Amino acid sequence: MKMFGRRHRPFFRLCVTDGRNPRDGRVLEEVGYYDPMVPETDARAVLNGERIDYWIGVGAQPSDKVAVLIKKYGSSGTHLEQQKAAVERLATSRRRPGVPTDLPKMEPVVRKKKEAKPVEEVVAEPAAEVPEPVAPAEVENVSVETAQPETEPQA
């Protein structure tokens, strides 16, 4: 089990990993998850039973806690019917009350496109006169003098 979540809000992913890797290290495959904060006890674990059966068939050994989850919620688990009922109850309790699920379909608004004017009717407006740029040779040399403060010689 790979731990996620934050303080006081745990969440676990059931992962197939090499035994030499750390708990939260590199995984070969994620085969389910376990959320202990879900109010329905039987809806807390969601497992991919086919992949778990494959990995156990090729020699994977589940940890003690994962073995309990596989026994209850695996492909041939003892609590599968209770899990389906709990997931359904959880799904209906999370729906917002007062919001109708069958809303009437609204007619789409059809807007008329503006007709484009024919090319013959479009009259080109004359462009505003733009002054021509002045060549650098035609510009007079203008110098700007700046006033400098008078400084007294230091003794």
**Confidence (pLDDT) at 122:** 54
Q: What is the 3-state secondary structure (H, E, C) of 28-78?
A: CEEEEEECCCCCCHHHCEEECHHHHHHHHHCCCCCCHHHHHHHHHHCCCCC
Q: Exposed (0-12), middle (13-18) or buried (19+): which is 83, by Cβ within 10 Å?
A: buried
**Confidence (pLDDT) at 105:** 65
CA distance 136 to 23: 76
* Residues in the chain with pLDDT values less than 50: none
Domains of the chain: 2-93 (3.30.1320.10)
Span 23-66, pLDDT tens digits: 888 889 999 999 999 888 888 999 998 999 999 999 999 999 99
**Confidence (pLDDT) at 93:** 81
Residues composing the chain: 155
